Structure 1
Amino acid sequence: MADQEEDFSSLPLPDRFMHKNWKVRKEGYEAAAKEFDIAQSEADPVVRQFIQDAGIWKGVVADSNVAAQQEGLGALCSFLQIAGTQGCTRTRNITITPIVEKGLSSTRPAAKQKALEALLLYIELDKADPVIEELIPILSHKQPKIIAATLSALASIYHAYGCKTVEPKPVLKALPKVFGHADKNVRAEAQNVTVELYRWLKEAMKPLFWNDLKPVQQQDLDKLFEKVKDEPPPKQERLLRSQQAIEASSVGGGEPEGVPEDEEDVAIDLEPEYMAVDVMQTIPKDFQDRLASSKWKDRKDALDDLHKAINHPKIVEGQFDDIIRGLAKCMKDANIAVVSAAANCVELFAKGLRRSFAKYRPTVMNPMLERLKEKKQSVTDAIGAALDAVFLSTSLGDCLEEILEFLKHKNPQVKLESTRFLIRCLRTTRDVPSPPEVKSITDAATKLLTESQEVQRSAGAEVFGTLWKIMGDRIMAAHLEGLDEIRKAKIKEYHETAEVKAKYKPKPVAPPKAAAPPAQKKALGTKRPPAGAKKPAPAAAAPPPPPPVEEPPAPLAPRASSRPGASKLAAPKSGLAAPSGGLRLQKKGPSPAAASPRRQVVSPPPEEHAPPTPKLGLGGRGLAGRPLGKPAPPAAEPAHMPLHQPTGLSAIERAELDELRAEVERLRRQNEEIRSDRAKLTSQIHELQNQNAQLIEDHTRDVLSIKAKETQLVRARSDFEAAEQTVQNQQREVDRLKRELSRQVRATSPAPLEISDQIFADNNASMGVGTGARFGDSGYGGGGLYARNRSYVTQPQSPVGEGKENVGFDGFGLTRSASTRSAKLSPRRGGNAGSAKSTSVSSSSSTPLGGRMSPADIGVPAGNGLGGGVSLVGSGGGGANGAESWKRAAEVTQNLKARIELMKAKQGLGRSQQ
């Protein structure tokens, strides 16, 4: 321990830095840090020692002991703070890699923090490019934790200094490789770096690396971008030493000469380096012929082939005049697919040719702006992208006149899309508009604020807000003066959220140098009197009047002292106090020396009151030839009274003048307020009128809608009542049919039984004789008699044609009987006298109303040997037409009864004749 303590106290710092004992090294680092902290400048011997022996720092930051390494990183930070640019440039090449490999990957958070601080100091002291060049190769390290630590350090660097100070392109180009790393921590840190770069660059950074990522990675990054998309633009949190010096000088004594632009105005070059491609050889030779085809499909195919041929980031300039004219003509094509394809080709030409495309701008811009009337969004998007590319190849001044012309277009769609194009131009331009251009833009935007459509008014307010962001408050105050508060508030919202790349910076006004010329004039005025010895003498005659007005000269002293050369003017006043001395000087002649100072005393008032100057001068000279007697003072008093009287009256006059000016200013402010209030009220009146018109229109629409609904309701009620009436009628009809059915059932249910009883109750002999005698001749001869329907039964019966066919009543209808019995019955058999002696009656059903009746044959024996039969077939059923069928059955029954009575009557007549 004694040896170690002796070494600690006796060894110099470099020796302790390289000691084999880590405790000695640790104490040496701590001691060095204290020495660096108290050093006054980089010229201090302790600092100079480590600047000259810069290689020692490599072992310090890569110390094998983590505790000693932590203190060594702290000593390096203290050294860089005092060593300045020289210490930075001499040590960074040998320390950055060990700092990353040993410091950033350390297990101690304090060591990591100090290692990151050392990297930030290396950037702060000089510039960021050498540090980034050292860090990029480490992204290919074999250890994933070192790659992840490097990516984390890069994210911190861009967060502190921003992409305007630290070049982002090398890191963006290296991102696809780290995104494909197998370690998840490396991929996570790569996402953090990408999100930090997106905060600064937004969508402009994607062309450099986006297509090299997998779709899944792109989706994950898009989700992360959405979280920071709406954040305000970030600002540089840490300044370089050069930026700190500029800021200090601008705060201390105004802006020094040679100050560069603000960091916000520095453009970030994200344009990839591409090789120009000659596309003239790949464009189809028959392109113009195919483009002139009458079929839209041929024109579309020609444009697609052109798109494939010119789809390169950079194009060699060539003779594209005919092609551009053809594309401009396609903007008037009736087919929207052709228009979209032509717009895509124009966009590729503008991006590929860049500034060389400016000469083609007049050919295509007007047709594209005119075609913005298309309502399909895909077409307007394609034309808008082409217009943006054309604008980037030119400038705002080149395009502004045509854009403002289309802001007056009669088509609202063209006007709106042109306004949006103007807003995009103002956001992307790097050229600050000139005052006439600002006036033209604000006039057009003011007209847009009075449009009837809200989207047009919002677009006009956005134009105002974006232009306000570029030009600043002082320039735009005059253009916003006549607007009402509601519109100003809307414009203010767009002004706060606008993102622009151009900033108006007024040129510093040179300090006025008007103090020197008056001094020269006064000096010249003092030299003029010696040229002539006689001229100064009259000026000496002026002192006699001062005695009566001796008090007023006092106010002259402060006024003269405020001017250059006031000390010279104060000296002659002592000479003015003695009028007698002045007279003696006038007589003796040494007046040139004394006259010149008196002219200086008299000269200041004439400068303030220019008109009296020649009169006073002439009056003094005119009085010089008069005798110096009593008449002289009255003549001299008017000469001196204007000199001192204005000084006394000027205070009163100035007070009155100040009051008048204040009153005028107050009246002017009142006038402005009244004018502003009137404009505000006028605007509110217009707004209320628009709202009233909208409300009236809505009310009219609602009234018409209500009337239509009422009409529909009335019709529906009428239909409902008609339907209800129909239902009631049907219900009554159903009820009536039910009653009729029940009545018929009650009336007709015993009828068949009564008929059978009557038939069986008849006398068989007489029945058979009558029937045989009658029906045998008529063709029934032993056949069956069937019940027929109303139409058949009620027909007049002829003695010959009756009974030609057998008819049965089956299920409420009349059908021909197909029974074998009726088929066997023929006229011949019926005419046989001895064929039958008796008639039989059979029935297969005893329920004529409740069920289906089977045919019944009724046989009547004939007394004279003739045979005849009557067959009655009845049926009953419960179908849908049951009531009607029973009604018919009742009628048939009545007809049968009538015929039976008729038959009985005929039989009785026959017997009487016999």
Structure 2
Amino acid sequence: MADQEEDYSSLPLTDRATHKVWKVRKQAYEDITKEFEKSGSESDACFRPWLNDPSIWKGIVADSNVAAQQEGINCLHAFLQFGGSNAGLRSRPHTIAPLVEKGLVSSKASTKLKSVDVLLLHIELDTPSPVVDELLPFLSHKMPKVVAATTNALCTIYREFGTKTVDPKPVLKQLPKLFAHGDKNVRAEAANLTIELYKWLKDGIKPIFFNELKPVQQKELDEAFEKVKGDTPKQSRLLRSQQAALAELSDAGNGDEGEGEGEGEPDAFDLFEPVDISSKIPKDFWDQVNSTKWKDRKESLDVLHGIVNVPRIREEDFSEVVRILAKSMKDANITVVIVAANCVECLAKGLRGSFAKYRTLIFLPTAERLKEKKQTVADALAAALDSIFNSTSLSDILEDTLELLRNKNPQVKLESLKFLNRCLRETRVAPSKAEVKLICDTVAKLLADTLEATRTAAAEAMGTLMKIMGERAMNPYLDGLDEIRKSKIKEFFDTAQVKAKDKPPVQPASVPPTSTARPGVKKKVVAKAPGAQAQPTRSAAPAAGRGPAEETSSPAKKAPTTMKPAPSKPQISKSGKKPQVQPGLASPTRAGTQIDDGPAYNPPAATKFGLGRGGLTSRTLQAPQTNGKSSETPRMLESSSSSPAEKAELERLRLEKESWLSETVGYRAEKEKLLQELSDVRLQNAQLIEEHTHHVLNMKTKETQLLRLRSDIQTAEENIEKKQREIDRLKRELARFSRASSPANAELADTIAQDAFGAFPRERTASASGISAPSEHNQRISAISRPRNRSSLAGPSYNLEDNIGVYSARDGIRSPISESGSSGRERMQPHRNDTEARPGDVADPNENWKRAAQVTSQLKMRIEQMKARQHMRGVS
């Protein structure tokens, strides 16, 4: 046995690691681990065999022996720990799967922990995405214990690295499947993973998968969420790249600044996939939203709200949709306004920063509708304005908001102030000094408003702004206020909660070298080109009033701050050229401080009293002595050494300064001009938008009038058709009456004769009654037989008494104009049957005449009725 062990130890480590005897493999794993721990760097020779053939790690991790497997996973951990990122990249494709299937489900707890640690080390060396992508397929494994172990490993990964480092989106999509698993352990691990993700993402994860869970599971998760709602997790393990970046910050001295920054609220916006809503808008939406009926407009906007109410919207051109919503904000029906505001809110939330380009179209129409006093309308508009602000910034909406604060409508002013307060609380960027001045100047006027609510909102705005900028920055704007208003503002200042960081105070480091710091303290002061030449002249002016003792003690100290860099040669040629002229020479009283001794006057001074630390000119300006005698000589030399070249140089510098100042003034004027042009363009743009909206409304009004006129024309045509049909009917009735009256004369005469003489023959009747005038009867018959038209019945020449015998027999005849139908013969038949004499009866002449008189009176009445009817028809 001892011989066999010696033989095994002589084998290479790679052969021993794949030996069939588990003890040999276990011992090989231990030896390999020791070599890795003793290595000096990632490029040592001990790593080379395992980098060249990384497939060996698959067998090491999945060793069939439990004890050997434990040592093999320890060996892989050492390989990754000491081998660096190259070791992780080479071994990862061969080790993730066996780690999950064999290591995470091992019977030994230490092996499980080490397997999870190896997975974390793989992530630390590179990036999390490849490891997570290889773990996700095991969530669908047929063995429940593998699924539960993988879920537990993912939970540990998010606990260590956080959701900002590891993308949670792929795992969130798998949660509904895990909660629907049949194994209770899998469901329990899924709940733990969900709670861990909730710590990082808060309520942002609910819309992704919550609706797919059972109500019982939703209730249990809600209860678990409430317990961890206040937890603020932090990333406890960093990637190698993050560690390097943190080390650089620490070396630069900025490590404390990064630690002081808050983590901020979690944002789950990136977790959602962008939704294409343009293809979902129905084709009839554009016609229906412009309908004259408010119900149609509301229904179309309801459909749009259902489409845009998604967590994230794919960026496209929504200009037309925003214009429709802006138009709907001016709708007379408040329900339409509420739905339009809801659509704006969803669209702004779904697009975020991409919605900023539509602000000019929708902000003012939405804000101007704040005049509505109904609370439901105000809430919908406030939510829409808040979403617009979240997609832009305080600087973008400030100008329009301050303009709304000057509105005459008190409701608009109040709601605009509330909106400004919300913006100040939510903004993460503090306003600039110019913006603070604009806000304070506008809001301070509202502190004296007639409405108490407006005054309170204005005080809250000032207090919130003070919380952002600090008390000192707001003091100039509170000077003119009374104590009551100041105390009110101070109350809001104490209770305000803002997200913007206070601006750091202005660092005075650049000021001391020229104004407050002593010139003699630091001699390495670098003079700046023309822009910096004005500062020494400003400091030289107050020095002019100082006494001679002070002047004599300071020339050597102040010389470096007033001199320009000279050529590299320390000596000056005898051609009369001086070094760069000092701006301090502009003051005659400071002539003693600007010493420039030429070689002709004081040659030894250049070498004896030069600047030891390499000043501006590397030349001696003045001996640093404190007695008055030593300072008198330089002053006399300076007064006697003022040459024309020096004066010319000074004049040139003054001219350059004046030209620079004039250029600065010109630039400022140009800037003001450009700002004015920008303001004009914005105003013109707003006017064009308003004119466009006005024209569109006029077009819609004209279209409505045109539709009404068309409807009126159609109604008139129908009335004309009815009148024409009535006229045709009357013509037919008249023609029918004419046809009915002509052929029936003879029969009508017989009928009248029978009615008049009791249905006896005319000869008998005449003889029985003693009437011997047949000619009169014939005349009546001929009168009846004569044709008469319709007008003759109603005419003034009609003689009723002459024809009374004729019309007295027409008792049962109705007017042919008012009634159509049967002929006069058929209508008179019942009367003739009634008056027909029975056989054997003797007619009484008196009775006959009575009946004739009755028939005559009835005929008169019917004639009067006919005249009245014809008269009415003629009037109509």
TM-score, length-scaled by structure 2:
0.54
Give, in whole Å, the separation in 1 of the partners of 2:343 and 2:327.
Answer: 13
| Cα distance per residue 1:568-625 (max 9 Å; x no partner) | 98xxxxxxxxxxxxxxxxxxxxxxxxxxxxx52638899xxxx9998464257599xx
- C-alpha distance in structure 1 between counterparts of 2:212 and 2:640, whole Å: 94
Aligned to 2:360: 362
- Asked if residue 110 in structure 1 is aligned to residue 110 in structure 2, the reply is yes
- 1:390 is aligned, of 365, 373, 388, to 388
Letter in 2 for 1:249: E
Partner amino acid, structure 2, of 1:245: A
Q: Secondary structure at the match of 1:135?
A: helix
Q: Deviations over 1:492-517 (max 9, x none)?
A: 8765xx668x9999999999996598
* SS of 2:278 mapped into structure 1: coil
Distance 1:508 1:20, change over 3 A: farther
Q: CA deviation at 1:41?
A: 0.8
- For 1:7 and 1:388, the matched residues in 2 are separated by 79
Shift of 1:42: 0.5
For residue 401 of structure 1, what is the aligned residue in structure 2? 399
Partner of 2:274: 273
2:81 aligns with 81
Change in CA separation of 1:403 and 1:183 when aligned onto 2, cut-off 3 Å: farther
2:158 corresponds to 1:126: no
Of structures 1 and 2, the larger Rg is shown by 1
Q: Which residue of 2 aligns with 1:414?
A: 415
Q: Distance in 2 between matches of 1:401 and 1:243?
A: 41
- For the residues of structure 2 that align with 1:275 and 1:507, how far apart are their CA atoms? 48
Q: Which amino acid aligns with 1:277?
A: S
**Aligned counterparts of 2:272 and 2:400: Cα–Cα separation in 1:** 28
CA contact (8 A) 2:329 2:337 kept: yes
Aligned pair partner of 1:538 in 592, 596, 601: 601
Q: How do residues 449-598 of structure 1 correspond to structure 2 at under 5 angstroms?
A: 456=457, 460=461, 463=464, 468=468, 479=473, 515=526, 521=565, 523-524=567-568, 526-529=570-573, 535-540=598-603, 560-561=611-612, 563-564=613-614
Q: What does residue 150 of structure 2 align with?
A: 150
1:342–1:601 distance in 2 versus 1, CA, 3 Å: closer
Q: Paired residue for 2:93?
A: 93
Alpha carbons of structure 1 residues 191 and 39: separation in structure 2 relative to 1, 3 Å: same
1:899 maps to none
CA contact 2:123–2:239 (8 Å) conserved in 1? yes
Structure 2 SS opposite 1:209 = helix
Does structure 2 retain, via aligned residues, the 8 Å contact 1:101–1:146? Answer: yes
Kindly report which structure 2 residues correspond to 1:593-604, keeping only aligned pairs within 5 A, or say none.
599-600=619-620, 602=622
Which AA in structure 2 matches 1:278?
S
Rate the CA distance shift 1:508–1:69 in 2: closer, same or farther, 3 A.
farther
* Contact 1:373–1:413 (8 Å) recurs in 2: no
C-alpha distance 356-131 of structure 1, shift in aligned 2 (>3 A): closer
Shift, 1:79, TM fit: 1.5
Q: 2 CA distance for matches of 1:218 and 1:613?
A: 95
What one-letter code is carried by the residue in structure 1 that aligns with 2:274?
A: E
Give the superposition deviation at 1:86.
0.7
Residue equivalent to 2:288: 287
SS of the aligned residue for 1:208 comes to helix
- In 2, distance between residues paired with 1:98 and 1:508? 59
Residue 35 (1) aligns with residue 79 (2): no
Match runs of 1:736-815 below 5 Å: none
Matched residues in 2 for 1:536 and 1:382: separation?
Answer: 85
CA contact (8 A) 1:448 1:460 kept: no
Distance 1:181 1:49, change over 3 A: same
Conserved? CA contact 1:416–1:456, under 8 Å: yes
**Which structure exhibits the higher relative contact order, with contacts defined as CA atoms closer than 8 Å and separated by 6 or more residues?**
1
1:318 and 1:72, CA in 2 relative to 1: closer, same or farther beyond 3 A? Answer: closer
1:6 partner letter: E
Give the conservation status (yes or no) of the 8 Å contact 1:396–1:425: no
Please say which of residues 484-493 and 375-384 is displaced more in the overlay. Answer: 484-493
Deviation at 1:382, TM superposition (A): 3.2
* Contact 1:4/1:24, CA 8 A, preserved across alignment: no
Residue deviations 1:228-276 (CA, integer Å, cap 9, x gap)? 22334x33222111111122122224579xx9x9996998732413345
Residues 444-478 of structure 1 deviation map (CA, whole Å, 9 limit, x = unaligned) = 8999999977985896499559x85xxxxxx7575
The 2-side partners of 1:93 and 1:432 are apart by 49
SS state of the match for residue 427, structure 2? helix
1:436: Cα distance to partner? Answer: 4.1
Q: 1:330, 1:342 within 8 Å by CA — same for their partners in 2?
A: yes
C-alpha distance in 2 between matches for 1:362 and 1:76: 60
Deviation track 1:635-668 (CA, whole Å, cap 9, x = no partner) reads: xxxxxxxxxxxxxxxxxxxxxxxxxxxxxxxxxx
Structure 2 SS opposite 1:521: coil
Point out where structure 2 has 5 or more consecutive residues left out of the alignment: 479-485, 514-523, 529-559, 578-596, 644-876
- Residue 165 (structure 1) aligns with: 165
Shift of 1:344: 2.1
Cα distance in structure 1, aligned partners of 2:18 and 2:118: 21
Cα displacement (A) at 1:89? 0.7
* Identity within the alignment, %: 46
8 Å CA contact 2:105, 2:112 repeated in 1: yes
Matched, 1:618 2:619: no
Deviation at 1:386, TM superposition (A): 2.7
Does the 8 Å contact 1:403/1:422 carry over to 2? no
Q: Distance in 2 between matches of 1:87 and 1:509?
A: 52
* C-alpha deviation, 1:67, in angstroms: 2.4
Distance 2:624 2:440 in 1: 48
From the superposition, tell whether residues 436 and 219 of structure 1 become closer, same or farther in structure 2 (CA, over 3 Å). farther
Tell me the amino acid that sits aligned with residue 98 of structure 2. P
Q: CA deviation at 1:94?
A: 1.1
The 1:126/1:447 distance shift into structure 2, 3 A limit, reads farther
Distance 1:461 1:239 in 2: 43
Paired position in structure 1 for 2:298: 300
Match of 1:24 in 2: 24
Give me the whole-angstrom Cα distance separating, in 1, the residues matched to 2:502 and 2:205: 22
2:614 corresponds to which letter in structure 1? P
Would you say the 8 A contact 2:158–2:196 is kept in 1? yes
Query: Does the 8 Å contact 1:120/1:157 carry over to 2?
Result: yes
Partner of 1:236: 235
**What secondary structure is seen at the aligned counterpart in 1 of 2:572?**
helix
Residue matched to 1:338: 336
Cα separation, 2, equivalents of 1:116 and 1:613 = 85
Deviations 1:258-304 (A, max 9, x none): x9x999699873241334533564343532443x43xx545433433
Equivalent pair of 2:418/2:457 in contact (CA under 8 Å): no
- Per mean C-alpha deviation after superposition, the further-off stretch among 77-86 and 278-287 is 278-287
* Partner amino acid, structure 1, of 2:235: Q
Q: What letter corresponds to residue 341 of structure 1 in structure 2?
A: V
CA deviation string 1:761-815 (max 9, x = no partner)? xxxxxxxxxxxxxxxxxxxxxxxxxxxxxxxxxxxxxxxxxxxxxxxxxxxxxxx
Tell me how many residue pairs correspond in the alignment. 555
CA distance in 1, matches of 2:219, 2:371: 35
| Offset of residue 329 of structure 1 | 4.8
Deviations 1:297-339 (A, max 9, x none): 4543343344456667647856754x64553354455654333
- Going from structure 1 to structure 2, the CA distance change for 1:211 and 1:478 (only over 3 Å counts) comes to farther
2 CA distance for matches of 1:80 and 1:115?
12
Separation of aligned partners in 1, 2:66 and 2:151: 22
